[in-house]
Amino acid sequence: MVRWLAFVEGAERLDPWGAVEIKDYDRLLKVFGIRPFKELIPLLSKAGMEPSHLMMRGIIFGHRDFDKIIEAKIRGERVAVLTGFMPSGKFHFGHKLTVDQLIYLQRNGFKVFVAIADAEASIVRKIRREDAIRIGVEEYIANMIALGLDPKETEFYFQTNRGTPYYRLIQLFSGRVTAAEMEAIYGDLTPSKIMAALTQAADILHVQLEEYGGYKHVVVPVGADQDPHLRLTRDIADRMEGLLALERPASTYHKLQPGLDGKKMSSSRPDSTIFLTDTLEEARRKLMRALTGGRATAEEQRRLGGIPEVCSVYHMDLYHLMPEDSEVRSIYDSCRSGRILCGECKLVAWRKLEKLVEEHQRKLEKAKDIAWSVVEVPRF
């Protein structure tokens, strides 16, 4: 199995707002009680779900209770998936990783909910309202639709106008957590972080209310750094017993795709990732400059082979560009054996990326129009 080798060791506590790089996924499984995803492959088949390349490659590496969701699906019960995006910056390949999972689940019969986290954007990041709304619709929703998410089968919403029962949950939840618990999970505590955390919990849990469809079997696909939110939300669900019957949400965990500069992908460092709206020229430039696992000299690389595990271009292939296993295996072997050098390998990736970006952008203009029509825009 191909594994992404960690860049840095450390960081026992995960910080979903920070920029901590997650290292040792095995330890994550051990310390936080996340189950290995691979154990679910037989169950998925039983449910008629062909595992995706993200699952087979260990990119989706862990889960909590996702088996229960699949079992519910096998019993014929309704299942749903929920995720949220902070409407800041531009939509990049890190976001696509999550959207690909939504599309996979949607095609396998899951109802999809997408929160545009504009409340968080304004309270935690101080993003201007009009920007948050435009980015939410034209960057996030539009790109999701262009990637293939079916807007007719997806419920997009802004956190700030989700209605009374949703807000009511936020209020209720505030009485079910202590300052000490939140501090243990998130480090220092501010009113805005508390509000953001409780709002996320409401995002995850509100679809269980009748007002929002009454979906009791909900999975949340997240990056490994988002687990603190899930742990908190699961605890909150338990504590509502007697007042509201809320099931614990299930979750799946994917590895964080390494940025093109070797650090964490982030909109705030444009060269760390490729935006799906980058011009072809720009996308090409970023890919060609990306950090690879090549050696100091061509001679050395031919002799020793490259190190795909630390190569950001290889990870683009692995996550996005080469869904066919044979193809990615062939690149991996060519690199390890020194038969292909980085320049050539980048050109292989570029031909795939160019096609993907071109096709995507062709769909994007129309998707923008659709995007404005499928979500209710908040007033202020």
List the strands of the sheet with 217-223, edge to edge. Answer: 35-36, 60-64, 250-254, 217-223, 79-85, 111-116, 154-158
Say how many C-beta atoms besides its own lie within 10 A of residue 186's C-beta: 22
| Residue 191 binds its own copies (CB under 8 A) | yes
Min CB(169)–its own copies separation in Å? 10
Q: Identify which of residues 183 and 369 has a Cβ nearer to its own copies in the complex.
A: 183
| Residue 75 binds its own copies (CB under 8 A) | no
- DSSP one-letter string for 219-252: EEEEEGGGHHHHHHHHHHHHHTTTT---PPPEEE
Of 136-165, which residues contact its own copies (CB under 8 A)? 159-165
Min CB(301)–its own copies separation in Å? 50
Q: How far apart are CA 198 and CA 177, in angstroms?
A: 9
Number of residues that bind its own copies (CB under 8 A): 39
Q: Which of helix, strand or coil describes residue 114? A: strand
Site string for its own copies, 79-118 (x = CB under 8 A): ----------------------------------------
Q: Which two tokens stand for residue 185?
A: 């999970």
Q: How far apart are CA 108 and CA 66, in angstroms?
A: 14
Of 220-279, which residues contact its own copies (CB under 8 A)? 243-244
Q: Which of helix, strand or coil describes residue 63? A: strand
| Residue 123 binds its own copies (CB under 8 A) | yes
Min CB(64)–its own copies separation in Å? 23
Q: Identify which of residues 210 and 281 has a Cβ nearer to its own copies in the complex.
A: 210
Q: Which two tokens stand for residue 299?
A: 């001679």
Residue from 182, 218, 224, 348 binding its own copies (CB under 8 A): 182
| Residue 17 binds its own copies (CB under 8 A) | no
Min CB(32)–its own copies separation in Å? 22
Residue from 126, 241, 268, 373 binding its own copies (CB under 8 A): 126
| Residue 199 binds its own copies (CB under 8 A) | yes
Q: How far apart are CA 199 and CA 133, in angstroms?
A: 18
| Residue 377 binds its own copies (CB under 8 A) | no
Q: Identify which of residues 258 and 378 has a Cβ nearer to its own copies in the complex.
A: 378
CB contact set of 302 (below 8 Å; sequence gap of 6+):
338, 341
Written as one letter, the residue type at 202 is A
Report the phi/psi class of residue 13: left, alpha or beta, with left for phi > 0 and alpha for psi in -120 to 50.
beta
Contact positions toward its own copies, by CB under 8 A? 119, 122-124, 126, 129, 159-165, 167-168, 170-172, 174-175, 177-179, 182, 188-192, 194-196, 198-199, 243-244, 378-380
